[in-house]
Amino acid sequence: MSAVIRPFRIDDTEAVVTLWREAGLTRPWNDPYRDIERKLTEQPEFFLVATVDDAVAGTVMAGWDGHRGWMSYLATSDAQRGTGIGRALVAAAEHALEAAGCPKIMLMVRSDNDAVIGFYNALGYGTDEVRVMGKRLIPDA
């Protein structure tokens, strides 16, 4: 793996949205462009991309709310899967959050996404038996 991990830059936008679409992370009710715009207003330094030969090959969006850290939009490009970029992105997000004083990192995975659950288990993540609840405040669509 010869990837470089660095903070997102605005000219990464199209490549990042394409990667998220290909990785199946976009949903009709979440506009990925608006998600990027919002993230750039809040802890943009925790929005990381991995590049290989200057091309975007992975992303992770992390954040810290003063109690817990969160990770979302973890994805690697099809061509680069299995080469360690996913692990490196998670490690980079963990280091950034820990350096900020964050004691625990959380993430949400669909309960039937066995492949990603296996990936996170391999990285030391366990399942918390909680029900995730949410309420939309700003509709995107």
Residues forming the site for ligand COA (CB under 6 A): 23, 25, 74-76, 81-87, 109, 115-116, 118-119, 122
Shortest Å distance, C-beta 124 to ligand COA: 11
CA-based nearest residue to 59, from 69, 67, 70, 71? 71
The CB-of-65 to ligand COA minimum distance in angstroms stands at 18
Half-sphere exposure of 35 (CA within 13 A, CB side): 21
Q: What is the bridge-based pairing of β-strands 69-76 and 105-107?
A: parallel
Instruction: Quote the least distance from Cβ 30 to ligand COA, whole Å.
Output: 13
Nearer to ligand COA, 74 or 97 (CB): 74
Q: How far is the CB of 20 from ligand COA (least distance, A)?
A: 8
Handedness of CA 111, 44, 79, 124 (dihedral sign): negative
CB of 54 to ligand COA, least distance (A): 18
Minimum CB distance to ligand COA smaller for 58 or for 101:
58
- Quickly count helices (H) and strands (E) in the chain: 4, 5
Q: Say if CB 53 and CB 15 are below 8 A apart.
A: no
With respect to ligand COA, which residue has the nearer C-beta, 101 or 132?
132
The beta-strand segments (E) located in the chain are 4-7, 47-52, 55-64, 69-76, 105-107
Nearer to ligand COA, 50 or 96 (CB): 50
Beta carbon nearer to ligand COA, 62 or 85 = 85
